A and B are shown apart, each in its own frame.
Chain A
């Protein structure tokens, strides 16, 4: 089933959607409900300012600074806001940590709840029926779709985001990165590793 029905091979539908959305925006603008300049800024913010690199900075700091890591796991909203690297984030952020025996994975089976403040807007697959249906029942199968294989005895913990709490995963720090600074570490942290469908890049992948 395609989640991209408007995106390719459907030129006519794409222009139909473009026209319909333009009509909605025109009505709402003429009524004074929205300011197109504000809409431009919202789009620009998501396209250029808020994205996974924000989350990666937080993870790199957690890997480097044990006191920050502890405060992050205790109260993530306060810890990230106090950090000052990525601005103020919304309330109810929960950060969970992978360990050798535990792998965390985040889903929203009911809609598309996602830690947007730190990762930007969710990718299409995160909002798709295949991911939402299978993650809570067969997460190893979902991980295999991403090429991620974990030992059979690693506990997999799936967090279904059914309220306004938002979850971010701190993956395990890759081996061979002793002494790396935060900028180098952040480059290893992929978006998927913070959702829990992937692992960070290895030290050798980064230098390749």
Chain B
């Protein structure tokens, strides 16, 4: 979806302000939010793409003015409600009031934490040969789905070069809708800065995206 989360190239957000000696969490509740998200994901309540999609659907003003973990907490709440894992009266009461619907994989146990928080593998066997090879010129498609996609607006309809091929990966555009993994070939596609931003762009700039094959056409 063409939401405010898709920020590449936007103006007006000001300078980057690094914080000296930044703590891992700024308040204990932030750590709990992060752990809840990881634990629920590992338990099978939702996949990563569904979680990203939920956050992208937050109202733009909320997305832009909430801290990261406040936005995550809202996503968790939205997904709990949307997936029938909790009901509005339970959210209001702050307690479970109804029987639980079973999770796909069940709760993460302390002994499984190491495995649960390590990044999973998104590589999958190929269903068909790759359409492109390293060195091929491609054009990104001009797509504007109302649903989740990982092709950023700034890189749509642009000429680029296939630089790396990563095998087939879970396709977020499908996975975010709970339509299954629908694995697709994944490539690093590199663009000249001027292709993306015009003749005034830094001549020494190159930008790459990780592009799934359905985002690309031969050029």
Chain A minimum-CB-distance residue to B65: A5
User: A158 to B206, Cβ gap below 8 A?
Assistant: yes
Minimum Cβ distance to chain B for residue A108 (Å): 10
**Residue B161 is within 8 A (CB to CB) of chain A in the complex:** no
A41 to B115, CA, bound (A): 12
Query: How long is the Cα–Cα vector from A1 to B17 in the complex, in angstroms?
Result: 11
A4-B26 contact given A111-B55, A139-B205, CB 8 Å threshold: yes
Whether A133 and B112, one on each chain, are in contact in the complex, defined by CB atoms closer than 8 angstroms, is: no
Known: A42-B117, A165-B166. 12 other contacts (CB 8 A): A22-B32, A23-B95, A24-B80, A31-B100, A33-B43, A34-B43, A92-B119, A112-B68, A133-B7, A156-B202, A156-B205, A160-B152
27 contacts between A and B (CB under 8 A): A3-B67, A17-B27, A17-B73, A23-B94, A24-B91, A27-B94, A33-B40, A33-B43, A43-B31, A43-B32, A43-B35, A45-B113, A45-B114, A46-B117, A51-B24, A89-B119, A110-B8, A123-B18, A124-B67, A131-B16, A133-B9, A136-B207, A137-B197, A159-B208, A162-B211, A163-B210, A164-B122
Chain A contacts to B: CB under 8 angstroms: 1-7, 14, 17-18, 20-28, 30-35, 37-43, 45-47, 51, 88-92, 94, 109-112, 116-117, 120-121, 123-125, 127-140, 142, 145-146, 152-166, 192, 197
Q: Which residues of B pack against A, CB within 8 Å?
A: 5-11, 13-19, 22, 24-29, 31-36, 38-40, 43, 45, 52, 55, 64-70, 73, 76-77, 80, 85-86, 90-91, 94-96, 100, 103, 107-110, 112-114, 116-123, 150-152, 154-155, 164, 166, 169-170, 172, 186, 188, 190, 193, 196-197, 201-202, 204-212
